[in-house]
Structures are given as structure tokens and as C-alpha cells.
């Protein structure tokens, strides 16, 4: 509501009044309604004081546009030829109040949608920027934690990886550090139990899983299992891993050596020749038989005889060949392969099928005896 001066009496009255309360003059004849904002304003003004719409525009619209008129008493929208308001019965003058022109809602809707779109773009750009910043902070902290881990500072690495949650491989590194702590306490079963969470494609993780498994085998004295899995990689294990891997190789080889298996144990001992007393074990003269062939021949009149023993280097086997067996006082067929071992100065072939006492051996000459028969074999 605004106060205006009555054109008839000059008194101030409300712009919402229908007639002047002082002189009875009709107020609507002294006012115009702005088509843009709908506010009433004094007819003498050049523009709407509320929105700035020019008076001439209002005047032209009011006089020339064929717009709906409304009842001055109740505001009911009238037909152009209505003489009486059908709503309240108020008689109508020829001058009727012109309704304000409807606002351009379509234009405003487009502006509103554009504003919302711009706001959404700003929010998305801000969100992406914040995420990139957070991601960079996490990456920096992750790389720092990796450095701690590689330096062996497991406490600092564990704290950083734990704070990172599941960023990159952080959680797996937390599990790996827990495994290392169990392994250091020789709690290999507990380390192996949580190892399923580690990715086998990551070298350090697969190594830890194997080491935990080796620890279990080691406590069970299953040295062969560790040997079979590591025999070709023995040189890559560091001092910490030697405690299990090297000792398993040593114990397994020593057990075979004590049973007289020289061909297989020679290669096993040579892989760990600097470990414990291995260098002294390798001085055993019978290791010189491995990979060599020793022959014996004899002639008596028209009869002759020949003996050959080839000691394989790849396995604990020999190729034992005998011709004219009557000369050797033996019934063993010639040209046969047998497993062999040397124990208590006896050459044992097969399942005790052929047994010779070793009289002497100096690398080039092997003297063996069976019953009263003695044979001197020379290195081929």
C-alpha cells in the first residue's frame, strides 16, 4: 500500500482505497496499474516507482490493449460487455480497471534453470577440486609409508598405512607388517593364517606368504618341502632367510649324505658351500666318483673279462657292465642300471643286489672286493 494525493481534494489517501474518504472521488481514476510488477501508482508519475516501468507503456497498454477488466469493488474479472459485476452486483462505469499484464514466467523459468545449472557446475568443479586435493594428500602419505616399509621402519609404516584405510594397497601392507611381526616371533602358523589377504602378484607379499609356509615346514622338520621349492633360488635369499631356507637345504642334504647318496648331495652341498661345515663335507673323497667312469679288464688264456661302473652326476644311479662273468665269480647280468650308495666303505647297488667292499680309492683308482675276488678299476 502507498499514500497518494487525491486529485480532487488534495488530501493523502491509500492507493488501495476505492474512493477518497474525504471527498468521495474515485481513486482508480487517479491511478494506473503497472503491467510488469502489478503495483498501483499515481497517474501523474512518468514511471512506476516500484519497478521503473515507463508511464506511457502503462497508458498504452491500458487504453489500446483488449485486456480483461475487473470489478473495482471485489476484483472479479469481467467480460468487456458486463454492465454489472456478476460476483458482487456492483454497477460498472464505462471506465474499467485493466488487469496488469502477466509476467514473462517462461523467461524467468529459463533464467532460474540457468542459475541452477551454473550453481551445479560450480558445486561439481569444487567437489572435483577438493577430491583431487585429498587424493594427492593420500598419495603423498602412501608413498611416505612405502618408504618407511622399505627402510624397515615398520611401526611408522603401520601407523601411516592404517590411517589410509583401503587406499591403494594400504590394507595389504598392514597385514604384511602383522605377518612380519608374527614371523619375527616364530609364530609362523598365525602369519600363514592371515596371508590369504595378500595379493600374490606383489613380490613382497608372495615372498612373505612363502616364508610363513617355510616356517611351518621348518617347525615340522619337513626340510625336503622347503628344498624342493627353493633349490634353484637359494642364492637369492638374504641373511634373514638363511635361517630357514639354508638350514633346510643343509639338513635335507645331510640326511641323504648320511645314507650314502653322493651324486644328489654333491650338487645340494655345492649350492650352500659356505654354510656351516659344508666345505669340509665336500672334501669327502667319494664325491670324486660322481660323474666319472671306472673300468677293469682281465685276460686269462682264451678267456677275458671286462667290468665298467659309470657313476651318474644327475642322480644316485650307476651303469654297471660286466662281460665274461665266469672270471668275476658273479652272476649279475651285464649292462644294467642300478641305484647306488656308499656307506661304511661299501658300494651298494640296487636293493643290496650287488655289494662290493671298497678297499681303496684315490680319485683315479677304485679297488673293490667281493668275496675273494678283488678288482682294480681305473678312471676312464
> Looking at residue 99, what is its pLDDT?
46
Boundaries of every domain in the chain: 1-105, 123-198, 221-283, 287-379
Give me the residue label for grid cell 615346514: 217
Number of H helices, E strands in the chain: 11, 15
Residue 316 in contact with residue 339, Cβ under 8 Å?
A: yes
Give me the residue label for grid cell 661302473: 309
> Looking at residue 358, what is its pLDDT?
96
In this predicted model, what pLDDT tens digit does every residue of 267-288 receive, in sequence order? 999 989 999 999 999 999 999 9
Query: Is the pLDDT reported for residue 65 higher than 50?
Result: no
Percent of the chain with pLDDT over 70: 74
259: which 3 cell numbers? 645314507
CA-based torsion, 121, 124, 128, 130: positive or negative: positive
Residue 170 in contact with residue 196, Cβ under 8 Å?
A: no
The CATH fold assigned to 287-379 is: Lipocalin (2.40.128)
Determine whether 55 is exposed, middle or buried from the number of CB atoms within 10 Å of its CB (0-12, 13-18, 19+): middle
In this predicted model, what pLDDT tens digit does every residue of 174-222 receive, in sequence order? 999 999 999 889 999 999 999 999 999 998 899 889 889 999 999 999 9
Query: Which residue(s) pair with 77 in the sheet?
Result: 70
Burial 104-118 (b: 16+ CB within 10 A, else e): eeeeeeeeeeeeeee
Query: Which residue(s) pair with 19 in the sheet?
Result: 26
Amino acid at each position: 500500500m502507498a499514500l497518494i494525493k487525491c486529485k480532487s481534494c488534495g488530501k493523502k489517501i491509500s492507493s488501495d482505497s476505492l474512493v477518497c474518504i474525504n471527498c468521495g472521488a474515485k481513486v482508480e481514476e487517479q491511478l494506473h496499474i503497472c503491467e510488469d510488477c502489478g503495483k498501483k501508482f499515481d497517474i501523474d508519475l512518468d514511471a512506476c516507482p516500484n519497478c521503473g516501468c515507463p508511464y506511457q507503456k502503462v497508458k498504452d497498454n491500458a487504453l489500446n490493449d483488449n485486456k480483461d477488466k475487473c470489478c473495482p469493488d471485489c476484483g472479479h474479472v469481467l467480460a468487456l460487455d458486463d454492465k454489472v459485476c456478476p460476483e458482487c452486483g456492483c454497477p460498472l462505469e464505462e471506465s474499467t480497471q485493466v488487469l496488469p499484464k502477466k509476467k514473462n514466467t517462461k523467461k524467468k523459468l529459463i533464467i532460474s534453470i540457468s542459475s541452477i545449472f551454473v550453481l551445479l557446475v560450480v558445486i561439481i568443479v569444487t567437489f572435483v577440486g577438493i577430491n583431487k586435493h585429498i587424493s594427492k594428500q593420500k598419495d603423498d602419505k602412501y608413498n611416505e609409508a612405502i618408504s618407511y616399509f622399505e627402510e624397515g621402519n615398520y611401526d611408522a609404516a603401520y601407523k601411516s598405512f592404517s590411517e589410509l584405510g583401503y587406499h591403494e594397497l594400504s590394507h595389504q601392507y598392514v597385514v604384511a607388517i602383522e605377518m612380519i611381526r608374527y614371523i619375527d616371533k616364530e609364530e609362523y602358523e598365525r602369519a600363514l593364517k592371515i596371508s590369504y589377504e595378500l595379493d600374490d602378484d606383489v613380490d613382497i607379499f608372495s615372498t612373505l606368504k612363502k616364508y610363513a609356509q617355510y616356517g611351518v615346514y621348518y617347525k615340522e622338520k619337513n626340510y625336503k618341502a622347503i628344498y624342493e621349492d627353493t633349490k634353484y633360488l637359494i642364492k637369492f635369499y638374504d641373511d634373514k632367510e638363511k635361517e630357514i631356507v639354508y638350514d633346510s637345504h643343509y639338513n635335507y642334504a645331510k640326511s641323504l649324505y648320511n645314507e650314502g647318496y653322493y651324486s644328489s648331495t654333491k650338487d645340494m652341498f655345492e649350492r650352500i658351500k659356505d654354510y656351516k661345515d659344508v666345505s669340509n663335507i665336500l672334501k669327502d673323497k667319494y664325491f670324486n666318483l660322481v660323474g666319472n667312469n671306472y673300468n677293469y679288464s682281465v685276460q686269462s688264456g682264451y678267456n677275458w673279462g671286462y667290468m665298467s661302473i659309470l657313476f651318474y652326476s644327475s642322480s644316485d644311479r650307476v651303469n654297471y657292465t660286466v662281460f665274461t662273468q665266469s672270471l668275476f665269480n658273479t652272476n649279475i647280468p651285464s649292462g644294467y642300471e642300478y641305484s647306488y650308495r656308499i656307506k661304511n666303505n661299501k658300494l651298494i647297488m640296487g636293493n643290496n643286489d650287488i655289494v662290493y667292499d671298497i678297499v681303496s680309492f684315490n680319485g683315479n683308482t677304485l679297488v673293490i672286493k667281493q668275496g675273494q675276488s678283488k678288482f682294480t678299476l681305473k678312471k676312464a
